Homo-oligomer: A and B are copies of this chain.
Amino acid sequence: MPSQVVSNMRPLRVDLMTRVESRLDAFLATERARWAGVDSRAGVPVDAVTALVAAGGKRLRPAFCVTGFLGAGGDPDDPTIVDCAAGLELIHVAALIHDDVLDAAEFRRGSPAVHAKYTAEHAALGWRGEPRRYGDGVAILSGDLANVFAERLAHALSPGPRRIWGEMLTEIQVGQFLDMAVAAEGVIEPKLSRWIAVCKSGRYSIHRPLLLGAAIAGREDLAPAFEEYGEALGEAFQLRDDLIDAFGDSETAGKPVGLDLAQHKMTLLLAEAVQRDGRVRKLVSEPEWDTAALRERLIESKGDIENRIDVLVERAHRAIDRAPLGAAWRNELTKMAVEVAYRNR
């Protein structure tokens, strides 16, 4: 293949992402001002959502949504894409807030998780009732509010994109539930765990946002290529996530690590190890897990997992090579795959 000059699409994408950030900021500031006008306390759940948005995060879902849209030839001045991408980040924030209650996780994006922060505030101020009940309550309602804001931002979706949006949201909740149920019951079914990982994380992080962006631009024909790219890269993303939890340090990750093993989570990483290694299967069959022993077994398979990530990234690249997209956008999506699969947080 002759070498060719391919334009760099990153600036176009970054520009649209800047508008997504502004939209998020403006929307949340308006809501805060409005509710703080009713009573000073009424801003609290808006603040909880705003703080998590402001604390950073990878903006993975908006980024893939915007890229799917631009790659499909969407008009960068269409306000629908900005609103929808902003809404996607709020869906993610809502899922994180609720997930941290489910997992009793104390930190998120480098700060105390919402439930933990407000449990501590209740205890410190000696308010009435049980601090945990109050902290969990703030988290439940803040997450609910983030979901409401997301739906309000997604107000202008036409029927095609709206179906994808609704499908994605349903998968998130069912996936989250299965994740929790399998951990509680101590189920060892690698196939089911794999399905859960793909459903609750990979699919909604990459595949669905890309599809949504393309559908807003009216390019449903991109669905097969985006599905192949998204499912492969989603799995690589999840394996990297699992590796960070198992072997990363919490300072770099901005959240506690080691929680998956501590909470008996049958991650994709562990599900693969169970299939390959009888000793891992035996260890996870115990009612209480020997996390040190498990971690030792998993270290041995780190190389295999890295190889698997390489294979998945290659598959994603091949899917994009064949996609009916301009060369510049194929190039951008190829670069994004590498960034997602080899990130360190």
Q: Number of residues in A with C-beta < 8 Å to the partner?
A: 59
Question: Which residues does chain B contribute within 8 Å of A178, judged by CB atoms?
Answer: 38-39, 41-42
Smallest Cβ distance from A84 to chain B, in angstroms? 14
Known pairs A141-B173, A141-B177, A173-B141; A182 contacts B41 (CB<8 A) = yes
A127 to B180, CA, bound (A): 11
A35 to B104, CA, bound (A): 26
Known pairs A166-B152, A183-B129, A264-B129; A141 contacts B98 (CB<8 A) = yes
On whether the beta carbons of A180 and B141 are closer than 8 Å, the reply is yes
On whether the beta carbons of B192 and A127 are closer than 8 Å, the reply is no
- One of A71-79, A131-139, A275-283, A323-331 contacting the partner: A131-139
Mark A residues whose CB is within 8 Å of B. 31, 35, 38-39, 41-42, 44-45, 94, 98, 101-102, 104, 122, 125, 127-129, 133-134, 136-138, 140-145, 147-149, 151-152, 155-156, 159, 162-163, 166, 169-170, 173-174, 176-178, 180-186, 192, 195, 263-264, 287
A42 to B176, CA, bound (A): 10
Smallest Cβ distance from A34 to chain B, in angstroms? 9
